[in-house]
């Protein structure tokens, strides 16, 4: 059963990749936490973006995540990021990740995945690390 689920999730991720590339910046792709974890695993080039505060990030984050806090200067912080890269965005519960994803799409980012909150990602089996 687990192999079947893993195969289904891998297929879903492969199916999502062209859709993300073709979305043309219209909206961020929201996916379930378990699907987000598979997407990250299957897309090594994707940038995992944690939009929580630096203090929240220091308390625990996904491996290899980059911290860009959703603050008043968020647009300035993301200005130097590659707009054509694939980003997987998360926060604590999903509220800030949705807002950050929307801002990124408005700013011209072409492949943004809203993975929701780290709490749900942990429930789905995500590893959390500290620096």
Which residue segments constitute the domains of the chain, with CATH numbers given? 2-123 (3.40.250.10)
User: Does the pLDDT value for residue 1 go beyond 80?
Assistant: no
Q: SS3 of 49, please?
A: strand
- pLDDT for 27 equals 75
Q: SS3 of 57, please?
A: helix
In the structure, what pLDDT confidence band is assigned to residue 55 with cuts at 50, 70 and 90? very high
| pLDDT tens per residue across span 61-94 | 999 999 999 999 999 999 999 999 999 999 999 9
Q: What value does the mean pLDDT take over residues 81-110?
A: 97
pTM: 0.80
The residue among 128, 108, 14 whose CA lies nearest residue 64 is: 128
What span, in angstroms and rounded, lies between the C-alpha atoms of 44 and 91?
Answer: 20
What span, in angstroms and rounded, lies between the C-alpha atoms of 90 and 97?
Answer: 5
64: number of Cβ within 10 Å? 11
In the structure, what pLDDT confidence band is assigned to residue 10 with cuts at 50, 70 and 90? very low
User: Does the pLDDT value for residue 109 go beyond 80?
Assistant: yes
């Amino acid at each position: 059963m687990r192999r079947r689920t893993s195969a289904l999730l891998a297929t879903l991720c492969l199916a999502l990749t062209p859709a993300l590339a073709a979305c043309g910046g219209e909206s961020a792709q929201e996916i379930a936490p378990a699907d987000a974890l598979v997407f990250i695993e299957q897309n090594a080039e994707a940038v995992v973006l944690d939009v929580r505060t630096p203090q929240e990030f220091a308390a625990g984050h996904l491996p290899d995540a980059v911290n860009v806090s959703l603050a008043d200067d968020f647009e300035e912080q993301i200005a130097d990021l590659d707009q054509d890269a694939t980003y997987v965005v998360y926060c604590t519960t999903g509220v800030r990740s949705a807002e950050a994803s929307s801002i990124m799409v408005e700013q011209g980012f072409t492949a943004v995945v809203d993975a929701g909150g780290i709490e749900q990602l942990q429930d789905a089996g995500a590893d959390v690390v500290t620096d």
